[in-house]
């Protein structure tokens, strides 16, 4: 489903490659964890996979199609429709409500019944209470923020979920609740998760990749 071929990434003003000759293949229905020490290039790799960092060399093939060779609108389409991102610090828009944060990616699509879709998605993560829908992110707990972020990542029904330390800012119990949610909602999807938590990786992944 997703193949990286000879991916190399050198940041500007640096003469050392962060990623060098990375070759990986990912399939639908896999839950892959990427482990490695801090600075190994895990987040960089996830950004490359998500099409957020296009200034790397090599090929990123999605169902055989080279995303880097596509024009900007193809790349935009890929980012908006094929991939959902979940970040450690949630990256919610602070001045928008819970409802609006989840609705935002949908506004760029032709989906019908957007309102119903948002409510259904929030219901799946246990946030259907009307009072919560109108709250701003600063009024939520960390676990609730990550639930909203999961809804936003999944609302366009992407095939690929990219999660960068999704439980990194949460306590142990809430972290497991969030992991269970990601697992439950990602059936028939490819999940690639960056983490430094080996236990979490072992418990949830079908494959672990160590980045040296
Ligand atoms: P990890 O996620 O494994 O901690 P990162 O991918 O964040 O690693 O970073 C890998 C290396 O790339 C680090 O040495 C970091 O300093 C460097 N790096 C990350 N982002 C940038 C950037 N935007 N510009 C320059 N160097 C960067």
Give the max Cα distance, the chain.
52
| pLDDT tens per residue, range 103-147 | 999 998 889 999 999 999 999 999 988 899 999 999 999 999 999
Distance 93 CA to ligand 1 centre (A): 24
- With a 6 A CB cut-off, is 46 part of the ligand 1 pocket? no
Question: How far, in Å, from the CA of 44 to the mean position of ligand 1?
Answer: 6
Express each pLDDT in 44-60 by its tens digit.
Answer: 999 999 988 766 788 88
Q: Does the CB atom of residue 43 touch ligand 1 within 6 A?
A: yes
Would you say the CB of residue 38 lies under 6 angstroms from ligand 1?
Answer: yes
Question: Residue with the nearest Cα to atom 23 of ligand 1?
Answer: 11
Give the pLDDT of the chain (212 residues) as one tens digit per residue: 899 999 999 998 888 999 999 999 999 999 999 999 999 999 999 999 998 876 678 888 988 888 777 667 777 777 878 899 999 999 999 999 999 999 999 998 889 999 999 999 999 999 988 899 999 999 999 999 999 999 999 999 999 999 999 999 999 999 999 999 999 999 999 999 999 899 999 999 999 999 98
| Angle (nearest 5°) at CA 162 between 200 and 45 | 95
Indicate if ligand 1 lies below 6 Å from the C-beta of 35: no
Q: Side-chain half-sphere of 42: how many Cα atoms within 13 Å?
A: 25
- Asked if residue 168 has its Cβ within 6 Å of ligand 1, the reply is no
**210 Cβ closer than 6 Å to some ligand 1 atom:** no
Dist CA 17 CA 131 (whole Å): 48
How far, in Å, is the centroid of ligand 1 from the Cα of 52? Answer: 14
> Whole-angstrom Cα distance, residue 32 to residue 40?
17
Helix pair 172-185, 142-154: axis angle to 10 deg: 10
* Cα 43 to ligand 1 centroid, rounded to whole Å: 7
């Amino acid at each position: 489903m997703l193949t990286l071929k000879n991916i190399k990434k050198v940041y500007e003003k640096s003469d050392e490659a962060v990623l060098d000759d990375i070759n990986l293949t990912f399939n639908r229905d896999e839950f892959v964890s990427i482990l490695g020490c801090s600075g190994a290039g895990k987040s960089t790799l996830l950004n490359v996979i998500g099409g957020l960092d296009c200034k790397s060399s090599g090929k990123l093939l999605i169902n055989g199609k080279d995303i880097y060779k596509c024009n900007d609108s193809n790349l935009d389409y890929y980012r908006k429709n094929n991939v959902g991102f979940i970040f450690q610090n949630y990256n919610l828009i602070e001045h928008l409500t819970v409802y609006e944060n989840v609705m935002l990616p949908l506004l760029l699509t032709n989906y019908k019944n957007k309102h119903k879709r948002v409510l259904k998605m929030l219901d799946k993560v246990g946030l259907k209470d009307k009072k919560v829908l109108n709250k701003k992110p600063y009024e939520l707990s960390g676990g609730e923020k990550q639930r909203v972020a999961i809804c936003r990542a999944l609302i366009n029904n992407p095939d690929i979920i990219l999660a960068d330390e999704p439980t990194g800012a949460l306590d142990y119990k809430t972290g497991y609740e969030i992991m269970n949610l990601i697992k439950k909602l990602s059936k028939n999807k490819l999940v690639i998760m960056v983490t430094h938590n080996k236990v979490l990786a072992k418990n949830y992944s079908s494959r672990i990749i160590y980045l040296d």
